[in-house]
Chain A
Amino acid sequence: MKASKGREATTEMKNLNDQELMRLVQAGDFAPASEVFERYSARIYNFAYRFLRNQEAAEDATQEVFVKMLKYANQFHGDAKLSTWLFSITANLCRDYLRKSDNKPKESEETLLTLPSSELGPDRRLEARETEERVQKALEMLTPEQREAILLSRYQGLSYAEIAQIAGCSEGAIKTRVFRAMETLKKYLSTNVTGDEKCLNAT
């Protein structure tokens, strides 16, 4: 009976939107936090992982984001989207980490790469691994500000206005960061992809 009630509650939570879930959390009920975790933990973890290039730090950051969400739930007023608020907390934690660790990646390149899906054939697995390595290396060439902006834009689908809110700067600054990031990525990735020796001078 209890399990059935639990399932019903879980289904009910899934039907609630972010604002409704947060209202419950604000009223002191922490149960809906697990639904928020389900919705956002993967996005937050991936962002932190790609931003910090350190698995342990990304795990700590993800955990800390949800602890902060619970502690400071009442500071979420629903003016912004929940995703923007959570990514703001994540980005702050990541920036703090980079400041403290003097911006040096602690992870070896090997551990940063994920295991390609076993569903792929050996050739395709190798190719996927090489592509991931190339993209990861290209992202490492960016400044932290550019990386933050491009990760939020490319992988999280946030608008420039939302990214500006997260980064605490103007939309214009985000536009510039994404543009410069793309220029760097383009030079590195398109050269490697096409085998073209010449870097394009797009600036």
Chain B
Amino acid sequence: MPECNVVLERMPLLLIEALDVSTREESHQHIEVCSVCATEWAKTRQTWDLMGELPELPVPARVRRGLAMHLEELQPRSNVVAFVPRNRRAWLQIAASAMLVVGSFFAGSRIHSGRSGALASHVAQNAPFRLAENMVLPASSIAPEIQGRPEIRNVKFIDNPTDGSDVGVTFDMTSHVTMTGGSHERSFVNLLSYVLKDSTQMNRTADTIQWVKQQYTGADNADPQIVSALASVLKNDSHEGLRLKAADTLRELSGSTVPEAQSALIEALKNDPNPAVRIKAVEALSNLAKARNGLEPASVDTLRKKAVQDDENPYVRVKAAEALKRINL
């Protein structure tokens, strides 16, 4: 049983239920048998309740009006920040240190219309850039290789960037970068594959898988590199939720024929400890078979074994049998 002073100190936490169950229970047991603490607890609760009587005030209209005036001043005319090197050599030195090779900037023939034109004029002016500034880049301006193992943080996706591109992604590496373009552009594909494979942050990987699913479902032949990265998540990630998401997304992207995907799905079906992942793997293999008019013999063999394996989860067995029926085997 805790001492009175310990229970008294816990009272504010008891009010907001921020204590773990056993500590809470222990404290209440003490309060029930200690008249001093019971009185204090009653007073504490009474005070807390009385404080709740303070009314919530509406925000005065002046605040909204003032903010509206500021908004006009703050709204950027363009969200494109100049991003060009002072000279190529200096840039390469910085790029090497940052381990991201950024090159091949906006040769005149590569510039598209609209926003890219604005970028071209920035290049022409040869404006300086600082490494710490926020950068907004078209995907086509970034060389496709990500070398070394740079830490890419705070990856976020933008469905409809304001510059009219199909998709956008922002991330922090040495600067806060916003990259916009099409989902099939090499730089996007490379960045996504990199983020998927470098799954040190669970939420980030989950967001990325979700975004991949959203972007590439229904698209003809999702990029093989993305499919391969998803296969890697399914095969290697220790978090079952991520493996499940990866298998589910592979099921949606079955139009893309990537050997790693099939082997990762078979591997998951054979060995993944989570039956939900195995079910998704069966479904993905079934879709794959449909898209390719059949499966390799080894995959079919695994499905057959699963359909009759006694110690397998019954749902997995049923799914495997259904898949075999669906592909007429």
Chain A residues within 8 Å of B, Cβ to Cβ:
19, 23-24, 26-30, 33, 37, 41-42, 45-46, 49-50, 55, 59, 62-63, 66-67, 70-71, 74, 77-79, 114, 116-117, 128, 131-132, 134-136, 153-155, 157, 159-160, 175, 178-179, 182, 185-186, 189-190, 193-194, 200, 202
Contact = CB atoms under 8 A, between A and B. Distances in A.
A62 B79 contact: no
B219 interface: no
A83 to B, nearest CB: 16
B59 A41 contact: yes
A67 B158 contact: no
B55 A160 contact: no
Nearest to B176: A74
B312 to A, nearest CB: 39
A35 to B, nearest CB: 13
Given A23-B158, A28-B76, A41-B64, 5 more contacts: A23-B157, A30-B75, A114-B55, A132-B55, A190-B47
B50 A193 contact: yes
A159 B18 contact: yes
Contacts of A159: 18
A185 B75 CA distance: 45
Nearest to A174: B12
Contacts of A33: 71
A37 B64 contact: yes
A107 to B, nearest CB: 13
Interface string B35-79: 000011001101110111111111110111011001100111001
A2 B181 CA distance: 28
B210 interface: no
B161 interface: yes
B14 to A, nearest CB: 11
Contacts of A155: 51, 54
B67 A189 contact: no
A77 B153 contact: yes
B70 A67 contact: yes
17 contacts: A27-B79, A27-B170, A28-B76, A37-B64, A50-B54, A59-B63, A62-B59, A63-B70, A70-B71, A70-B74, A132-B54, A132-B55, A135-B50, A186-B43, A189-B46, A200-B39, A200-B43
B190 to A, nearest CB: 21
A28 B162 contact: yes
Interface in B277-293: none
B16 interface: yes
A63 B71 contact: no
Nearest to A19: B156
A70 B170 CA distance: 17
Contacts of A26: 156, 170, 178
Shortest Cβ-Cβ A-B pairs, 7 listed = A28-B79, A77-B154, A190-B43, A63-B66, A186-B47, A45-B59, A131-B53
Contacts of B55: 114, 116-117, 128, 132
A98 B234 CA distance: 55
Given A63-B70, A159-B18, A186-B44, A27 B50 contact: no
B63 A63 contact: yes
A41 B60 CA distance: 10
Given A27-B168, A27-B170, A49-B57, A202 B8 contact: yes
Contacts of B46: 189-190, 193-194
Nearest to A45: B59
Contacts of B249: none
A117 to B, nearest CB: 8
B172 A136 contact: no
B59 A42 contact: yes
B164 to A, nearest CB: 12
B147 to A, nearest CB: 24
B309 to A, nearest CB: 42
